[in-house]
């Protein structure tokens, strides 16, 4: 298999940019109602807009055949932006997981032990692979 040209890489990146932008918007919407997460939500929304901008720029560069140097510069910016997006979404999912734990624990009012005999410590140990003993 021959190595991909920069044009092929750029063409492949177009679909990835739109998919990543959609994912960032979805996570931003989920975080929008979470207390203390509005800043991260806004950053993800800005990230989605930036990716959409890269899509338009990359598509224009491909259509006008602007050359490898221009494509390389755009792809380098895309890679940096994608790295930020991965980290921001990981933080978002961690936050949403914590909120989920908090919400599920609100149902345990009568005892620190659930009806199945698991304590909160057991639950967190299984969830995060921790040894709390």
Evaluate whether residue 133 is within a structural domain. no
Query: 65-74: per-residue pLDDT in tens?
Result: 999 999 999 9
Q: Span 23-38, mean pLDDT? A: 82
Evaluate whether residue 34 is within a structural domain. yes
Evaluate whether residue 75 is within a structural domain. yes
Question: Which residue stretches of the chain are H helix?
Answer: 6-31, 38-63, 68-105, 120-128
Evaluate whether residue 1 is within a structural domain. no
Percent of the chain with pLDDT strictly greater than 90: 39
Q: Span 78-106, mean pLDDT? A: 72
Least Cα distance to 14 among 66, 45, 60 occurs for 60
Specify the pLDDT at position 31.
80
Number of domains comprising the chain: 1
Q: Where does the pLDDT of residue 1 fall: very low under 50, low under 70, confident under 90, or very high at 90 and above?
A: low
Do 8 and 59 contact (CB within 8 A), yes or no? no
pLDDT at residue 4 is higher than 90: no
pLDDT at residue 131 is higher than 50: no
Evaluate whether residue 73 is within a structural domain. yes
Evaluate whether residue 83 is within a structural domain. yes
Q: Span 77-105, mean pLDDT? A: 74
State the pTM of this model.
0.69
Cα–Cα distance between 19 and 9 in angstroms, integer?
16
Evaluate whether residue 97 is within a structural domain. yes
Higher pLDDT, 83 or 105: 83
The residue segments making up the domain with residue 95 are 6-128
């Amino acid at each position: 298999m021959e190595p991909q040209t920069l044009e092929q890489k750029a063409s492949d990146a177009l679909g990835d940019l739109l998919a990543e932008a959609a994912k960032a918007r979805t996570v931003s919407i989920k975080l929008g109602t979470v207390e203390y997460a509005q800043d991260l939500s806004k950053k993800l929304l800005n990230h989605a807009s930036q990716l959409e901008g890269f899509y338009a720029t990359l598509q224009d560069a491909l259509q006008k055949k602007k050359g490898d140097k221009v494509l390389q510069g755009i792809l380098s910016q895309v890679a940096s932006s994608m790295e930020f997006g991965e980290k921001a979404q990981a933080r978002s999912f961690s936050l949403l997981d914590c909120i989920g734990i908090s919400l599920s624990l609100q149902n345990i009012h009568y005892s620190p032990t659930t009806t199945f005999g698991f304590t909160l410590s057991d639950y967190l140990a299984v969830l995060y692979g921790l040894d709390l003993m």
